[in-house]
Amino acid sequence: MSDYVVGIDLGGTKIYTALATLDGQVLAEVKVSTQPEKGYRAVLERMVATVEEVRRQAAREQPPLRVGLGVPGPLDPVLGVVHVAPNLGWRDMPVKRDMEALLGVPVFLDNDANLAAWGEYRFGAGQGVRHLIYLTVSTGIGGGLVLEGKIYRGASYLAGEIGHITLWPEGPRCHCGNYGCLEALASGTALAREARELVSKGKGKGILSQAGGDVAAITARTVGMAAAAGDPEAFALFQEAGRWLGIGLATLLNLLNPGVIVFGGGMMASSPFFWDRMVQEMQRRALPATASAVQLLQASLGGRSGVLGAVALALEPV
């Protein structure tokens, strides 16, 4: 029997693959670009090449015992079909079957947010905390739920769409079609939208200068740079995002009473500008006993949450 597994975190821009022993020790890692424009088959072959590369690095002649694979989009882990992966241009792809044919070993699928949650539960900030919510705040807002020590997937494997809880029924339109979703209010995309609106009103000079004077170049990152430089308008935008995040957290607390919420995603680089405001708003709104039961932590695996979650899935498939 093989003495190792492989985890793959497939993203729109990169493939991140790790090889680990059966007790979870990572022996080799590799990252390559995804190149989704080359098509479905080419992406699968690039993933297979990363598996070969980590095997070579770890000097393993035998194939892995199992492979865990995280995909950015809703999927059916039982059928092994990816319904939609917008960043890859995939629709109803039988990824499990096709990867198993290429690799000759069992492949287990889950979506990237679930596996990031699972990675932080198994190896990271929320290690062993029975009820964990992982929240990623980035261009979008996503999440994964670990309840009773297991990934909670729901009736059609769509649970954990934390970005799409409604916080302001008459708020800005979300790309999902709804109005006032958390994602439409507190994501990096929402922050950049608010910053551009400010500029269009003749304000936000500090933000604009960080974007080289180009309104279209304003992103959450440039707003973060302005806030870091002491710009009060940039800081106010983060405070407002923090307020919405806090309102969303209160709903998560009262509904799911988690023991820990782990935060990941690119916007956490700017967390000093919104963290306290977020916590304050959460405490103001949540039932005191749910607020006192939770720990708010930053992800400790950083960009490795997903790939280590894929490793954990391969170690203990469902």
- Considering the complex, what minimum distance in angstroms separates the CB of residue 255 from a second copy? 6
Is 279 among the residues that bind a second copy (CB under 8 A)?
A: no
Q: Which of 155, 201, 202, 212 binds a second copy (CB under 8 A)?
A: 155
- Considering the complex, what minimum distance in angstroms separates the CB of residue 231 from a second copy? 26
Q: Give, rounded to a whole angstrom, the gap between the first and last alpha carbons of the chain.
A: 20
Site for a second copy in 40-79 (CB under 8 A): 74
Q: Which of 21, 87, 209, 257 binds a second copy (CB under 8 A)?
A: 257
- Considering the complex, what minimum distance in angstroms separates the CB of residue 290 from a second copy? 5
Q: Which residue has the tokens 């479905």?
A: 40
**Tokens standing for residue 260:** 């820990």
What's the rounded Cα separation, in Å, for the pair 276 and 242? 8
Is 286 among the residues that bind a second copy (CB under 8 A)?
A: yes
Beta bridge partners of residue 141, listed in sequence order:
137
Is 152 among the residues that bind a second copy (CB under 8 A)?
A: yes
Judged by beta carbon, residue 164 or residue 304, the one nearer a second copy is: 164
Q: Which of 31, 130, 193, 221 binds a second copy (CB under 8 A)?
A: 130
Is 167 among the residues that bind a second copy (CB under 8 A)?
A: yes
The beta strand positions in the chain, using DSSP E, are 4-10, 14-21, 26-33, 67-71, 75-76, 81-85, 90-93, 107-111, 132-137, 141-147, 150-151, 260-264, 295-298
Q: Which of 251, 271, 298, 300 binds a second copy (CB under 8 A)?
A: 251
Long-range contacts, 60-64 (Cβ 8 Å, 24+)? 60/2, 60/3, 60/4, 60/19, 62/2, 62/3, 63/2, 63/103, 63/104, 63/105, 64/2, 64/4, 64/5, 64/6, 64/19, 64/103, 64/105, 64/314
- Considering the complex, what minimum distance in angstroms separates the CB of residue 305 from a second copy? 20
What's the rounded Cα separation, in Å, for the pair 127 and 282? 23
Q: Which of 22, 49, 158, 269 binds a second copy (CB under 8 A)?
A: 158
Q: Which of 276, 287, 302, 318 binds a second copy (CB under 8 A)?
A: 287
> Interface with a second copy by CB under 8 A: which residues?
74, 83, 129-131, 145, 147-148, 150, 152-162, 164-169, 176, 178-179, 247, 250-252, 254-259, 284-287, 289-290, 292-294
